[in-house]
């Protein structure tokens, strides 16, 4: 079970790492066998599957995302804590976004889903 203190630490640090464009620090939260599903996968990679598999591919995807964000800052709005997962709710470019992260026994994210406000 993930404590709320641990969840808030992960959320704040993950947001800060993105805002600083610290790719290694962001990736430190993910397992080597990560599966990340996001509608942005199509936009950045043209992969219609919408799922990135493996940390090496996630690195490439996040690198492209950081480049395209072009100074955009994330603002943490809230978190929600599950048994083995957390949901990070944040704002970027005046739109809401949510990352749901499932953590393995080592505390690394092995499955994640991203959701974006389409307004």
Residue with tokens 């992260």: 101
Q: What is the structure's pLDDT at 82?
A: 96
Q: What is the structure's pLDDT at 70?
A: 81
pTM for this predicted structure? 0.92
Q: For residue 101, give its domain range.
A: 4-116
Looking at the 3D structure of the chain, how many domains does it have? 1
Q: What is the structure's pLDDT at 69?
A: 82
**Is the pLDDT score of 49 beyond 90?**
no
Residue 62 sits in a domain whose CATH number is: 3.10.450.50
Cβ atoms < 10 Å from Cβ of 56: 12
pLDDT band for position 45 (cuts 50, 70, 90): confident
* Tens-place pLDDT, residues 59-114: 999 998 888 888 899 999 999 999 999 999 999 988 999 999 999 999 999 999 99
Q: What is the structure's pLDDT at 119?
A: 65
**For residue 69, how many C-alpha atoms fall within 13 Å in the half-sphere facing its CB?**
19
């Amino acid at each position: 079970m993930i404590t709320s203190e641990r969840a808030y630490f992960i959320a704040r640090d993950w947001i800060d790492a993105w805002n600083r464009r610290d790719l290694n620090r962001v990736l430190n939260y993910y397992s080597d066998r990560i599966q990340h599903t996001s509608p942005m996968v199509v936009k950045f990679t043209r992969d219609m599957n919408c799922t990135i598999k493996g940390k090496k591919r996630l690195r490439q995807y996040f690198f492209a995302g950081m480049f395209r964000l072009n100074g955009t800052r994330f603002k943490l709005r809230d978190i929600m804590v599950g048994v083995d997962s957390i949901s990070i709710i944040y704002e970027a470019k005046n739109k809401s976004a949510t990352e749901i992260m499932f953590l393995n026994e080592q505390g690394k994210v092995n499955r994640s889903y991203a959701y974006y406000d389409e307004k």
